[in-house]
Amino acid sequence: MKKTIALYPGPAFHHMISMVELGKLILQHRSDVSITILVPSMPLEESKTCSYINSISHRLNPIISFYYLPTIQMPSETLSRADIAIESIKLNSSNVFQALENISLTSKILSFIITSTTSFSYHPNIPTYTYFNSCASTLAAILYLPTLHNQITSSFKDHPSSLLFIPGLPPVKSSFMPEPVLDRQKPIYDFFLNYSTSLSKSNGIIINTFDFLEQQAIKAIVHGACVTNGTTPPLHCIGPLIVDAKDRAGGVSDDVSSDCLTWLDSQPSGSVVFLCFGSRGTFSAPQLKEIAIGLERSNQRFLWVVRNPSNAAEAELPEGFLERTKERGLVVKSWAPQSTILGHESVGGFVTHCGWSSVVEAVTYGVPMIAWPLYAEQFLNSVALVQEMKVAMPMFLNGEEETIGNGEGVVSAERVEERVRELMMGKALRERSLEMRMMAATAWNNNDGGSSFTAFSNLVASWNSLYS
């Protein structure tokens, strides 16, 4: 009977997608195991997750199977998105332990958000790894969180402009720390504080990045500079790992994808700026209008994925905007095949919310970016993009050379116009992005001993030595 590697994603759609891709990668390198993905009850995105699993299962079975955990009963009171995630992790814990009792395991690989509520002493002979779904710079900040906690007595949100000095990162504003840890009075802060300290119990951290992309942050983590009172587990950089475009759709109609690609096929090479801000990336009605005006004034070709703002669902783009720009622009509602678009020859720039999966895709295809972070850990990601990787320029607020940092304010049309033109007409950023594309390809080159190929091969070899 084959040994089984259990993958346990966090209670969010993008964690499930990442785990599926990781499972595929493992099976490419180790055919003597089976992959079982534990599917937790996901109060936040259950319907979306089930649709995604249903759409891919016929292609993955029997090489990857899905083990559904029992439905959990959430508290009746109204909870924030972060609190729902924490509560679901806690309530799923006993179900996870029971599921693992029923599965023959060689290894458990856990999505990063699970670590603080999952015991690493489940079985002394079963290695347990953490799969971190963001960049090395954010990992460095999370690992360093206990040190910052002892150095600073107030919440990061209380001194947003103060600089933090985190090993491997340039100085960053307190307001740029990941959203869940901005307020130490909230339960999710303690959750991440415990998560950080518990990482030392893991057999290793697997992360979707590569050595050349984040040299300083990776060096700081590997040398133990981010953990001042404990042990840093081995770091396995296996990126770039990007999602299969047909899998990311999750059952969405092919019509939208076809329309986007047909339109792109008619555009000149490198002429289109692509704007996409993730599944939660919504803007206020005033901000949507400023973006539209800025795009129109820039005279650049564009493909813009627009999601209705949560507090103004009936908001409309400026009158006549679609008609005036129809010859050089395409506006798509809700969803577009992002990875396929970024890999299209006509795309020459990307305005992004700095979600890590989006960044990895852009780097893989050599597309320069404008960093416009909105939530979660995206502000830290943007710092890495702009200052270390040098593959993006920051979006600035109105009339002041200050990057967006707290989600407040409206970026003016003039600023949008200026930045889009600079992105599409500049050379330095484009050359740097093309260099990173080559380095990304080199990382997984098995003939030349690429860093990610070597790291993953060594990881798999360590499993073989234990269980051969």
Mean pLDDT of 432-436: 98
**pLDDT tens-digit readout, 243-258:** 876 665 554 556 677 8
- Can you give the CATH number for the domain in which 289 is found? 3.40.50.2000
- Is residue 3 very low, low, confident or very high in pLDDT (cuts 50, 70, 90)? confident
The whole-number pLDDT of residue 327 equals 94
Q: Are residues 454 and 354 in the same domain?
A: no
**42 part of a folded domain:** yes
Q: E strands of 178-320, at which residues?
A: 204-207, 235-237, 272-276, 301-306
Least confident of 77-86, 280-289, 404-413: 404-413
Mean pLDDT of all residues in 267-285: 93
pLDDT at 255 (0 to 100): 67
What is residue 206's predicted lDDT score, i.e. its pLDDT?
Answer: 95
Does residue 156 fall inside a structural domain?
A: no
What is the dihedral angle through the alpha carbons of 289, 322, 281, 438, rounded to the nearest 10 degrees?
-120
Same domain assignment for residues 436 and 448: no
**Who wins on pLDDT, 312 or 131?**
131
Q: Are residues 223 and 274 in the same domain?
A: no
Confidence of residue 82 (pLDDT cuts 50, 70, 90): confident
**pLDDT at residue 159 in the model:** 95
The whole-number average pLDDT for the span 380-387 is 96
Q: Where are any strands of DSSP class E within 319-394?
A: 329-333, 347-352, 369-371, 392-394
d(CA 41, CA 71): 5
Same domain, 225 and 96: yes
Residues 219 and 292 grouped into a single domain? no
Segment 257-267 shows an average pLDDT of 93
Calculate the CA 262 to chain-centre distance.
28
Predicted confidence at residue 17, as pLDDT, reads: 92
- For the entire predicted model, the pTM comes to 0.92
Instruction: Say if residue 408 is in the same domain as residue 324.
Output: yes
Give the mean pLDDT of the chain: 88
CA 180 to chain CA centroid, Å, is 15
Domain extent, residue 30, equals: 3-139+186-239+444-467
Q: Are 335 and 364 in the same domain?
A: yes
* Residue among 47, 92, 51, 88 nearest 69 (CA): 92
DSSP characters over 167-181: TTS--EEGGGS-GGG
How many domains does one find in the chain? 2
278 inside domain? yes
Q: What percent of the chain has pLDDT over 90?
A: 60
On whether residue 250 sits in a domain, the answer given is: no
State the pLDDT at residue 355: 96
Residue type, 100: L
Q: Are residues 451 and 386 in the same domain?
A: no
Q: Domain check: are 435 and 448 in the same one?
A: no
Element (H, E) at 67: strand 64-68
State residue 96's pLDDT score.
86
Whether 176 is covered by a domain: the verdict is no
Residues 217, 384 contacting (CB under 8 angstroms): yes
Residue 415 lies in a domain: yes
Strands of 217-283, DSSP E: 235-237, 272-276
Across 114-128, 152-166, 190-204, 219-233, least confident range: 114-128
Considering the domain boundaries, does residue 167 fall inside one?
no
pLDDT of 312 above 50? no
Closest C-alpha to 11, from 45, 36, 35, 37: 45
Average the pLDDT over each of 22-31, 75-84, 220-229, 373-382 and give the range with the smallest value.
75-84
SS3 call for 347? strand
Residue 144 lies in a domain: no
Q: Tell me the CA distances in angstroms from 149 to 133, 232, 293, one per residue in order.
A: 23, 18, 43
Mean pLDDT in residue range 364-391? 96
User: CA distances (Å), 358 to each of 5, 76, 84, 201, 339, in order?
Assistant: 27, 35, 25, 30, 8
Residues 44 and 134 in one domain: yes
Q: What confidence category does residue 437 fall into, taking pLDDT thresholds of 50, 70 and 90? A: very high
Task: Say if residue 83 is in the same domain as residue 132.
Answer: yes
Q: What is the pLDDT of residue 40?
A: 87
Q: Are residues 19 and 63 in the same domain?
A: yes
